[in-house]
Amino acid sequence: MLKKLVLASGNAGKLREIQQLLSPLDIEAVPQSAFNIAEAEEPHCTFIENALAKARHASLHSGLPALADDSGICVDALQGKPGVHSARFANINNSEPKSDAKNNQALLNALANETSRSAYYYCAIVLVRHHDDPQPLIAEGIWRGEILTVPRGTGGFGYDPLFLDVASGKTGAELTPEAKNKISHRGQALQQLIKKLQDLS
């Protein structure tokens, strides 16, 4: 069983969620910033390819196994957008810092004339045991819901204030971290990954 790995992310919200979900396994999860590792390029059009690129980059520069997540929101009326560009939907050319508030407003603007609000969060998680691991562990999760017309809640991050979990009637920003981790795309993917790790041990 792994004892230590590097988390290939600079997103504080993702790091917090992943560390919480891994804590029962007694795995020390260290953010890549602790090694002064810059964020990897994410040039690909799929979540899995971007997650793999980030994991290999972090493992190469840390010498440790690495776990990377690539995730985003996919809106049916927008043919799956923002998708892999979720973190920079308001400014895809990368000239400004990422902004959740601006991204949320950009999504509302894009859906202004749409009646269908169905959407889903998607997450791909990749674990490499070394940077050129020929058989990375890959897990996926999908969390279906709807996009509201006004944000609700103060928790979470990303598009959580606009993303309604229909079953609970709460947005991702209204759910407690524990409740969100049980049903979210990232929670699902990490539970899959944990099972794969346990099967290997």
- For domain 4-200, the question of CATH label 3.90.950.10 is answered with yes
Mean of pLDDT over the chain = 92
Report the pLDDT value the prediction gives residue 201, as an integer from 0 to 100. 64
**How many Å apart are CA 97 and CA 43, to the nearest integer?**
18
pLDDT in tens, 56-98: 999 999 999 999 999 999 999 999 999 999 998 988 776 677 8
- DSSP assignment of the chain, as one string? ---EEEE----HHHHHHHHHHHGGGT-EEEEGGGGTPPPPP---SSHHHHHHHHHHHHHHHHSS-EEEEEEEEEEGGGTT-BGGGGGGTT-TT--S---HHHHHHHHHHHTTT-S--EEEEEEEEEEESSTT-SS-EEEEEEEEEEE-SS---SSS-TTTTTEEETTTTEETTTS-HHHHHHHSHHHHHHHHHHHHHHHH-
Report the pLDDT value the prediction gives residue 159, as an integer from 0 to 100. 97
Closest CA to 6 of 33, 25, 24, 26: 33
Report the pLDDT value the prediction gives residue 79, as an integer from 0 to 100. 96
pLDDT in tens, 141-183: 999 999 999 999 999 899 999 999 999 999 999 999 889 989 9
The domain limits of the chain are 4-200
Report the pLDDT value the prediction gives residue 179, as an integer from 0 to 100. 94
Q: CA triplet 41, 121, 158: central angle to 5 degrees?
A: 65
Give me 35's structure tokens: 């090694």
Specify whether 165 is catalytic.
Answer: no
Residue tagged active-site, from 69, 70, 160, 165: 70
pLDDT in tens, 28-46: 889 999 999 988 888 899 9
Report the pLDDT value the prediction gives residue 18, as an integer from 0 to 100. 82
pLDDT in tens, 107-116: 999 999 999 9
Report the pLDDT value the prediction gives residue 1, as an integer from 0 to 100. 65
